[in-house]
Structure 1
């Protein structure tokens, strides 16, 4: 593979460069790196700022978090295990996961536990929704391990039978990470290094923040834009996300990765093995501008766009976003990496498909308006938050009951769920609302409870500068004391179904087993744009 920078033929300057800077400004993205692989030639370029405090420019060798683009590496390692029948004859796509990590992998019913396969967990068709706010939350005083995340799944409700519904689930890639480490007897980062990164010459790719910092290579600072200004976001240091989203890398190294995939070269995989990674496994609900059928493969999305097959995946993590878009038939691919929360993926997608459209020769008037798509999504989210009370509680009494059933102080205290962990509710500075900071879980957040009527509340949940609204209610004992709080943590469960966290005394969470039983009910579902994943 040859690499050309600043070539007269590069697609990354001229009008495209102008559009990059306009996109960065519109979506409030400090900086972005872009790579294009076209046959045997690669172009790379950095734009904007990697560190606003020092005014450091983004270069093509700037490190960014890759988020869920990590998943494709995990799937590739699994494909290697499946092909190696001499060393790992018990690892096949149809092997039930419980056969390999029996004590750890237990789901919410016996049949699912015994029958969910490796293929199922890698294609998001286990029947288990994301439950993203449960990840890594099982301890208040220490960081969860990969094994801890896997073991917590038994306390979470599924929402569909296996193999019937696509539900993106980061935890299942953490399951895959634990399975790989158990079978191979090594750390997943070391496995990636030995079997993928070293063979492909990916010398600037890391599995842990400490390793990236120790390399002394430039690591971009992450940001969120809120209330008219950029706010720095701490580099994520949660090793338990593992093969679901831990990688830190550069567009230069990722160009080597997608070149290997497009050319089926450089990795210890047969042609059939490469092919399994992009084979459709689970149908995805249709969305513009892609044609049906849309599908998830193994760590990759598979779409039809402008008459050609697209293989793609995005990645989002606090402060960062990444996009990979490939046209296998043309051996053409685009990578973007940027350093803002949420908007990195909006801007990165717009720019990636500008390059895709140019490669396909799509006239300007016939191109899909990606910018408008994401403007509409942001508007939908704002409207949803504004209308949350009416959405969650359409049958409020008129007039509503005056305030909460109990004094607001009565609801404060510690609540516990064996997967969602601990929630410490206290009175906020206004003296009228309940507040909690969740710093002990993978997806850190803050929650503010506002009373609607009686024991019913809405929660304004803030994650790195972005707000979403959840329903909540308290159950009360006959003696008038709160017994538990039900929170709509998982959007795909619907509006009325909640995760119930039981009230406990102080720090006495040791020995607790399950929260209140999950009771299914018929209820309208939340909008599709709320059912995605936090790190993608």
Structure 2
């Protein structure tokens, strides 16, 4: 939705979205350390100021790469600092240029009602949590909290403000764990502003830690189960593996490369902005497979199918790459003919 909105912005303004942001927001707020995409940071010769992103796996943090995500334009990819983003929050709080009263009201007007989480309770007599234009709106102990958060491989972020108290904060961290930590910090700061006695505060940190620990335990269990399944399927394909190998093309998703690795079919998707790899587990009929799509965040299991042509060669491969569309919605790639 937001990516489509940037297309509208570019069409009406006759400017790239990046230039539009710089002209209308960044330069007007003197946000000199704010850019769209890591490549812009490098082009401005400020690459040394980029923090190293980390992801957590096997009980340790591992450095990873800076993600260039043009396909998510409008829904993220802003490279900034806490000092710069604080200028934007200050403009929202005080409704100073380029944030006018009309803009403020439009972007903070509730549009969609959200389910109430346990850590958003205690707002009796006030509207339920809602989503506005890029902002989450909820009430905590009678105070309105306007916030926006984000998470991507190697980073977690949050900015928020309390309009009635003219208080706001920006929290940025270079790991996904910073996402949960930022919520803990937000709740602590809000309690401080509202002068909530310590004995009356919610133990948000313990709740988040408990959830994170449970998620990690489930992830490790699933990874071990998936590895065992792949090992059991090794050598179970009746058709020669060479029949499957090659490049497959889809107009929108471009090329995927099917290779052999460690005795299994392997798809190398590391050549795109959101890179992944996928080992295939043979399920049945030499055409039904289970794919283990892995990236820095973990591993997802997706259905994979091969179709054979009249010549006995694989003609297409289908993968469920958009699970929101259903487990039976395959994205099909046609085999490229070798010259």
Structures share fold, TM-score greater than 0.5: yes
Question: Comparing 466-475 with 252-261, which one deviates more in the overlay?
Answer: 466-475
Q: Contact 2:293–2:302 (CA<8 Å) still a contact in 1?
A: no
What is the TM-score when the length of structure 2 is the normalising length? 0.82
Matched residue, 1:302: 137
Q: State the shift of 1:320 in Å.
A: 1.9
Please say if 1:279 is aligned against 2:109: yes
Matched residue, 1:471: 302
- Tell me which of 263, 268, 290 is aligned to 1:458: 290
Q: State the shift of 1:212 in Å.
A: 2.4
Q: State the shift of 1:205 in Å.
A: 1.4
Q: State the shift of 1:303 in Å.
A: 2.2
Partner Cα separation in structure 2 for residue 485 and residue 218 of structure 1: 42
- Tell me which of 245, 248, 255 is aligned to 1:412: 245
Matched residue, 1:489: 321
RMSD across aligned positions (CA)? 3.1
Q: Contact 1:278–1:300 (CA<8 Å) still a contact in 2?
A: yes
Matched residue, 1:204: 33
Within 5 Å, give how 1:182-261 maps onto structure 2: 182-213=11-42, 214-216=44-46, 218-261=49-92
Please say if 1:322 is aligned against 2:153: no
What is the TM-score when the length of structure 1 is the normalising length? 0.54
Identify the structure with bigger relative contact order (alpha carbons < 8 Å, sequence gap 6+): 1
Q: Contact 1:255–1:335 (CA<8 Å) still a contact in 2?
A: yes
Q: Secondary structure at the match of 1:457?
A: strand
Q: State the shift of 1:180 in Å.
A: 0.9
Q: State the shift of 1:459 in Å.
A: 2.4
Partner Cα separation in structure 2 for residue 478 and residue 253 of structure 1: 57
Q: Contact 2:288–2:306 (CA<8 Å) still a contact in 1?
A: no
Structure 2 unaligned segments of length 5 or more: list them.
122-126, 227-232
Partner Cα separation in structure 1 for residue 51 and residue 224 of structure 2: 39
Partner Cα separation in structure 2 for residue 471 and residue 485 of structure 1: 13
Q: Secondary structure at the match of 2:130?
A: strand
Q: State the shift of 1:427 in Å.
A: 0.9
Q: Contact 2:249–2:336 (CA<8 Å) still a contact in 1?
A: no
Q: Secondary structure at the match of 2:248?
A: strand
Q: Secondary structure at the match of 1:442?
A: coil
Can you list the C-alpha shifts for 1:310-355, whole angstroms capped at 9, x where unaligned?
Answer: 2111122332221112222222212111112x21212222222221
Matched pairs, number: 322
Q: State the shift of 1:359 in Å.
A: 1.9
Q: Contact 1:460–1:467 (CA<8 Å) still a contact in 2?
A: no
Matched residue, 2:230: none
Partner Cα separation in structure 2 for residue 357 and residue 222 of structure 1: 30
Structure 1 unaligned segments of length 5 or more: list them.
1-171, 392-399, 509-536
